Structures are given as structure tokens and as C-alpha cells.
Structure 1
Amino acid sequence: MALAEKNWRLLDTGHRPGPENMAIDEAIARAHARGEVPPTLRFYGWAPPAVSIGYFQSMLKEVDLDAVRASGYGYVRRPTGGRLIFHHMELTYSVVVREELLPGGVIETYREISRGLLAGLAELGVAAELSGGERDPRRADPGGFHTACFDTASAYELQVGGRKLAGSAQTRRDGVILQHGSILLDVDVPLLFRLMRLPEGAPAERLMARFRSKATTLREALGREVGYAEARDAFTAGFARALGLRLTSGSLTLAEEKEAETLVATKYGSDNWNIKK
């Protein structure tokens, strides 16, 4: 598969609250659908750290909101599917591109975008591979209870030694693909589990052990700390090299900023969206 448009905008919007991050992704997608901005690769972080859930999940069933609020963290529902993620020590990416410029179904486009992620890991010196393409990333695994996004791999997601390092999700609207995902720099597993609402009687220690066996981080893969800026630069280079992109650093347009503010006020910052049944 070859991308039909090689000139993309590159954004680093820094660390922002969860509702703002999700609003910016949607604002970019809307602007791109209107033809106002080019395809966009965006990197960002979360401040304060936040729990996000997939579009089809229940916040009240998945998240201990009392623990989240007491810790000063945020929470938000994503416009994409998938499972709970605690956005803490990570680099988050998003890709916004019209379907006509990246043709194919969900699996095919996941595979193409994952080539950029794989090349980014190679820039850091991480030998990674893609999980098999048989599992639709939009669907929950029917094989049993999963605690969080990183304890099982969907189609064409990055693994190191069979353990998941990056989790992604995709949605499409108005002819535009929005895919975003988390690349773990490090993880505090006990903290993650304190913020989750586990089934009554679920063995937390055993579930944490399972999570550790299924997930890994850049710190673990490289045996050293990897900062946000180092990871961002590596994945920027990886996307450019693997997908043949000409990335031009830019900023959000005034229209995107205003639309994101509106989306925070009316959607992502509202419990009508985040905690709907």
C-alpha cells in the first residue's frame, strides 16, 4: 500500500489534559475533512496523567473514579474503541488522513501506520515485530477478562519479545481516518491497578502478573530511561522513513484551536460524554 499524499503536517502539542487531547484530535480530523489542513501526524502527552476508556466502555464499570479524582488525575472517553489506558509515562501519537489518501479497511490501514511505529522503534534500537493480522483491533478479545489495553495485542500492533509496547485505536468519520495510540515509556503497574475497577473477587496480584507478562515498555526494552523528546524524535524519523513522508513542523490553526475549545466544553469535558451509561 502506498500513501497518495506525502506532504504531511507534523505537530507536537505538548502535555495537556485528557479532554483537550481528545478534542484536538477530533478538531484536526474535522479540519482535514473540510480540506483546511493537510494529513497530520501529531505527538502529545498528558498533564495531569489521565485514564481514558474506549468509546464502547462504561466509565463507572471500568474506572475507580474516586481513586482517580483523589490522585488529581483526569479521565476521558475516547472517540475510538479499545480498552482502558492510563496515560502516564508515555508518548501518544495520532494520525489524521482522508480515506482516499490511505485506502483500505481497518486492518490494512493499521498495518500501514504500524510500519511507521516499527521504524520509530528501530531508530531507538529496539528490535520489535508486529502482532498477527487476524484480530480486528476494533473488537474486544472474546477469550476472557482483560484488565487494560496492553494485556493483549490486536492486529498489527507493536510487540517486543511477544509483549505489547504500543496500543492503538482507530475511528472513521466524514471520510477521514483518525488513529491514535500510546507508546509506553515506562509503567507503574500497581498505580494502574489502583485506578481500575476490577471484578469482585478478582485476584489483583495475579492480574498484575499477567499484565507484566503481556506488556513491556521502552525503558524495559532498552534497559534505560527514554524521555518524551527522544521518543518523539525517533518516531518522527521512523514515520518519515517508513512511509516516505515529507513532514513539515507546524501548529494548530486558529480554527482548530477554537473547535477544540468548543469540543472540550460540549463533549470531552462533560460527564454527559465521559460517564454516559
Structure 2
Amino acid sequence: MMNWRLINSGFADAAINMAVDEAILLAHSAGKVPPTLRFYGWQPAAVSLGYFQRAMSEIDFDQCKERNIDVVRRLTGGRAVLHDAELTYSIVVQEDDPLIPKTITASYRYFSNGLLVGLRELGIQAQMTVPAAAYGQRKKQPASAACFDAPSHYEVTVEGRKLAGSAQVRKNGVILQHGSLLLRFFAEQFVELLRLPSVEKRQQTAQMLKGRATAIEDVLGRTVTWQEVYHPMPEAFGAALGIKLVSGELTEEEKRVSKELASTKYSQDFWKMLR
């Protein structure tokens, strides 16, 4: 059984969170650290943009500033995500690792199994579904800038509503996949941060998101803490992925590189406004 490193980073701001993911990717690509599974949270709340997403036309930066919500651009694709009450995970592993299915779709499914097992431990029977729109079977509707409105390869859903969103990039022969497991879902708050033409459009988008997404607290009917949701996840991922997780920390080099990336890239307007 292969050893992977497990890191619980706790809470950090948006630039640090994205910089740490990239620093791990670079270190693993150079053969300096083992495959890594990391869990983290966001403080303060933040909106992350997909790598290819247009910033100014889709996100209301003034509203974000007013509400003390960071904005950051991810390395991965997809649409905007509001990171607030959620458990975030990231996986960094070589593309040619013998455990990893060769196709992107199959690798999503493989990694998402960890979430399903962990959710089961929390008393949630989630499913992995392939949305019809991923195969062009749903009538095209006007999409919003929000991730939880977007079909992806394999979605973790409960009763047809999306509970976890994930995104993946492959760089330097390494896979980085990260995703959000929602503790609570704030559709109205998120919609206020999007550039939408009218109050009516905001209301419509909020209602649509509520119909398509859910959160752990909604499913369980009670409040949960970040630590409670994190607790079963390492063992669940280990069992589902067939790996042995060994608790570890970032290396000194990863810490240095992540601080550098946070200050010179992820916190900078040139990166946020890339598109």
C-alpha cells in the first residue's frame, strides 16, 4: 500500500490557500515530497475564480471589498465558488501513478469516492452522478458565473442536489484536484457578489442555485463544525483510494515557496485580472 502525506492546514486566507496547493504541486513534481492529501478552510471568506473565467464582467469586486471577501484566481478551471463555511480538500499526485485512472473523468470518480465514504460516516448517503448536461442531454439554459450551477464530470449529490464541487488541473506531469464540501450554503450572499443585470435576475439565480445545491447542515438538519466534518475524511480517503495516509507538515521549502507565490502572484491584481 502506497504512503501518502496527510496535511491538515487549518484556516488561511485565499492567496495562501491557493499558493500552498501550487507549492505542493511543484515540490511533488520535483520528486521532493510524496503524493499529498490536504484539508483546509478559509479565513476570511473568499470567492475563487476559475483559471479561464473573466473577472470584471462576472464578479462585483466592490461588493466583495465591502463585505471583506477576498477574491483569488485558481490554477484549476470551472466557475466562481464562494468559500465560506466549507471543508476544502486538495490532492496532488503524479499523473502516471499506478493507482490513478488514466482518463480525467475516471480520476474524478476515483478521488470522489473518498468524499462519499466520509459523508457516509457523517450519516449522509450521497451519490456520484454524471449530470445530463455533461453529455449535452439537458436543454441549454443561461448559465451563471457560479460553480454550483455548472455540470462537471462526476458530482457528489444528495437527492439530485450538488453537495461537493471539484476542479482539476494537470501540470508538470502532476494532477492537482481540489474541491469544496459545503457545511452551509449561502445562495443569496453569493449572488450579491456576482455581476448580474437586475434585482430580479439576482433573485432568479439565487432560487436556481438553491434548487441545484445543498449543504451538510441542510441534509442533517443540524449545525456542524469544520472539525466534525474533517474528522472521518482522512480514514475515508485512505480506504476508498487504497492508500496509507501518514500525518505530515509542509516542508520548509514548500512554506517558503507558498509565501512567495501568495505575495507575488495570488494576492496580485495582475493574476486576479488575468482575463
TM-score w.r.t. the length of structure 2 is 0.93
Name the structure 1 match of 2:232: 234
Name the structure 1 match of 2:85: 89
Give the superposed CA RMSD: 1.8
Task: Please show how residues 254-269 of structure 1 align to structure 2 within 5 Å.
Answer: 254-269=252-267
Identity, in percent, stands at 44
* Equivalent residue for 2:53, pick from 50, 53, 57: 57
Q: Distance in 1 between matches of 2:212 and 2:91?
A: 25
Indicate the SS of the match to 2:56.
helix
Q: Assess, with a 3 A threshold, how the Cα gap between structure 1 residues 121 and 214 changes in structure 2: closer, same or farther.
A: same
Letter in 2 for 1:261: K
Is contact 1:150–1:211 with CA below 8 Å preserved after alignment? yes
Q: Does 1:276 align with 2:274?
A: yes
Per-residue CA distance 1:171-225 (angstroms, 9 max, x = gap)? 0011000000110000222211111112457622122111101000000111111
Letter in 2 for 1:74: D
Number of aligned positions between the proteins: 270
Indicate the SS of the match to 1:30.
helix
- For residue 133 of structure 1, report the CA deviation from its aligned partner: 7.1
Instruction: Give the stretch that moved more between structures: 217-226 or 143-152.
Output: 143-152
Letter in 2 for 1:265: S
- For residue 134 of structure 1, report the CA deviation from its aligned partner: 7.0
Task: Please show how residues 1-277 of structure 1 align to structure 2 within 5 Å.
Answer: 6-101=2-97, 102-132=100-130, 143-199=141-197, 203-277=201-275
Is contact 2:148–2:165 with CA below 8 Å preserved after alignment? yes
Indicate the SS of the match to 1:60.
coil
- For residue 151 of structure 1, report the CA deviation from its aligned partner: 2.3
Q: Distance in 2 between matches of 1:188 and 1:135?
A: 24
- For residue 84 of structure 1, report the CA deviation from its aligned partner: 0.6
Q: Distance in 1 between matches of 2:134 and 2:3?
A: 29
Instruction: Give the stretch that moved more between structures: 162-171 or 62-71.
Output: 62-71
Per-residue CA distance 1:78-125 (angstroms, 9 max, x = gap)? 000011111001000000000111241210110100111111111111
Letter in 2 for 1:186: R
Is contact 1:135–1:155 with CA below 8 Å preserved after alignment? no
- For residue 6 of structure 1, report the CA deviation from its aligned partner: 2.3
Q: Distance in 2 between matches of 1:91 and 1:72?
A: 20
- For residue 243 of structure 1, report the CA deviation from its aligned partner: 1.3
Is contact 2:25–2:176 with CA below 8 Å preserved after alignment? yes
Q: Distance in 2 between matches of 1:129 and 1:155?
A: 13
Instruction: Give the stretch that moved more between structures: 258-267 or 40-49.
Output: 258-267
Letter in 2 for 1:257: K
Q: Assess, with a 3 A threshold, how the Cα gap between structure 1 residues 61 and 275 changes in structure 2: closer, same or farther.
A: same
- For residue 161 of structure 1, report the CA deviation from its aligned partner: 0.2
- For residue 23 of structure 1, report the CA deviation from its aligned partner: 0.4
